[in-house]
A and B are shown apart, each in its own frame.
Chain A
Amino acid sequence: GAVVSQHPSWVICKSGTSVKIECRSLDFQATTMFWYRQFPKQSLMLMATSNEGSKATYEQGVEKDKFLINHASLTLSTLTVTSAHPEDSSFYICSARDRLSSYNEQFFGPGTRLTVL
Chain B
Amino acid sequence: QVQLVQSGAEVKKPGASVKVSCKASGYSFTRYYIHWVRQAPGHGLEWMGRINPNTGGINYAQNFQGRVTMTRDTSISTAYMELSSLRPDDTGVYFCARESYSGNCFDYWGQGNRVTVSS
User: Are A and B subunits of one complex?
Assistant: no
